[in-house]
Amino acid sequence: GGIITQTPKFLIGQEGQKLTLKCQQNFNHDTMYWYRQDSGKGLRLIYYSITENDLQKGDLSEGYDASREKKSSFSLTVTSAQKNEMAVFLCASRNWGRAETLYFGSGTRLTVL
């Protein structure tokens, strides 16, 4: 088995601040994802990376940057935190041939004061 580790678990930022969230997986999966979870809005895709050195924008990429440093790690940057923003950011990965099975981390909860 494997695990996805997201750090930090809780992140508190100030309006306008640049914030970075990190994700590590030891599944040896090729594809990794960042989703944003807001209450009642489900999971919305921010960025994904099919293989190392690849980056693809999702539906919610504006206001974010991403970086796939190596196969096992995928970072997300909030370029300018919005006041009163509160959401959970979920990282996931999957095998090349198993499109339906995403393995998720437990999330980073962001609060912007």
Q: 24, 26, 21, 52: which is closest to 37 by C-alpha? A: 21
| Angle formed at CA 48 by CA 69 and CA 30, multiple of 5 degrees | 65
Which of 46, 76, 92, 110 binds another protein (CB under 8 A)? It is: 92
Burial class (CB in 10 A: 0-12, 13-18, 19+), 70: exposed
Applying CB under 8 A, among 1, 10, 40, 62 the residue interacting with another protein is: 40
Minimum distance, C-beta of residue 113 to another protein, in the bound complex (Å) = 23
Q: What are phi and psi of 106, to 5 degrees?
A: -90, -5
Q: Least distance from C-beta 15 to another protein, angstroms?
A: 27
Figure out which of the listed residues 11, 21, 105, 110 binds another protein, where binding follows CB under 8 A: 105
Among 55, 65, 73, 104, binds another protein (CB under 8 A): 104
Which range in 13-21, 41-49, 64-72, 75-83 contacts another protein by CB under 8 A?
A: 41-49
Binding site for another protein (CB under 8 A): 4, 35, 40-45, 48, 50, 56, 58, 90, 92, 96, 99-107
